Amino acid sequence: MTVQDVSHVELYTRHAPTAVDYFVSGMGFTRVADSVESDRSSILLRQGKTRLVVTSGPGTTRFLDHHGDGIADIAFTCDDVTATRDAAVAASARSLGLSHGRPVVSGFGDVTHTLLPHATAATAEPPPGRRWVPTTPAPQVTQEGPVRLLDHIAVCVEGHRLTEYADFYESAFGMSRYSSEYVAVGDQAMDSIVVRSDSGHVTFTLVAPDPSKEPGQLDAFLERNGGAGAQHLAFLVDEIIPAVRYMRGNGTEFLSTPDSYYDVLAERITGMREEVAQLRATQVLADRDDWGYLLQLFSRSPYERNTLFFELIQRQGSRGFGSANIRALYEAVERDRLAAG
């Protein structure tokens, strides 16, 4: 009763052409197939081993009214679909019947999990169950995009339910607790638990605000999103600096980083003095743990409610998720604020 991989992530949107253009033109995804149904239409995008399904139409209205554009389904491949569904229901998930002939169970908030046999994991074939029609004309990929795979999914949940959700993903899908961390920044704080499949291919970073502290960015996400939801998708790249330049050059907007962050970066992470100039120029963040370092950068949310966003991450041995950057960025912004006045 274990999940093996993420088959695909499905995004509901009110305006599919704009959503698809963001991924294709801005991030280097390729449109490979389309599916039209009575109450919705879907577009399959692929880059590396990552598959995104962008869906719009009357069948998505209820979700969109409540949450706005965002991730509605994260499809898992499983060793045994029936046993996984039964284990999820026993762990308090709701069985939501069939979608495209495949079992669906509830996950976090209104996000669901479609369950597929692991034999369908080959990314060369569209997700089973829909009448996919290859894109016409066939896409001409002149340059392979920089994304290799989906590194992790950050899930924002209510503060008092963090442990509950971690226990759920352990019991329902055979995932294990990988790490946990509490980060306090001024009067605000966030707690996190990372759960990961035994295969290592499914990683959820569950994050939640500390309800005993002042409201912060996670509280704001929960309010704008109408409850728990996928906060960001993290895409693994081999070299983040050229990836950022490529996407920024194609119109993808990333969060800005204060100059003062880089003033102390070489002292915070030894051995990176020569790289700091390049990181400053591209505003990429750096972090180190016992196994190595990572480089990361977050996009601005392209959606009206300012909820879902995206991350690029390059791992050089690091097994973490860049939590030190939360504190470092906060302190850098505070230094700039004091210097200005």
Asked whether 231 and 35 are in contact (CB, 8 A), the reply is: no
Asked if pLDDT for residue 330 goes beyond 90, the answer is: no
Residue that wins the pLDDT comparison between 302 and 288: 302
Shortest CA distance to 41 belongs to which of 165, 174, 131? 131
pTM greater than the 0.85 cutoff: yes
Q: In whole angstroms, what separates CA 213 from the centre of its chain?
A: 26
| 69 has pLDDT over 80 | yes
Rounded Cα gap, residues 11 and 287, in angstroms: 30
Proportion of the chain above pLDDT 90, given as a percent: 75
Least confident piece of the model among 70-74, 90-94, 249-253, 320-324 = 320-324
Query: What gap in Å lies between CA 43 and CA 56, rounded to an integer?
Result: 9
Q: What are the tens digits of pLDDT across the range 128-144?
A: 889 999 997 766 665 67
pLDDT of residue 122: 52
Strands 112-117 and 102-106, bridge-based pairing: antiparallel
User: What is the C-alpha to C-alpha distance for residues 11 and 60, in angstroms, rounded to an integer?
Assistant: 10
The pLDDT tens digits of the residues spanning 144-178 come to 789 999 999 999 999 999 999 999 999 999 999 99
Confidence of residue 323 (pLDDT cuts 50, 70, 90): confident
In angstroms, the CA 124 to CA 49 distance is 9
Query: pLDDT per residue over 178-211, tens digit each?
Result: 999 898 888 888 999 999 999 999 999 999 999 9
DSSP 166-215: HHHHHHHH--EEEEEEEEEETTEEEEEEEEE-TTS--EEEEEEE-TTS--
pLDDT higher than threshold 90 for residue 31: yes
Longest dimension (CA), the chain: 62
Q: How many CB atoms lie within 10 A of CB 259?
A: 12
pLDDT given at position 73: 98
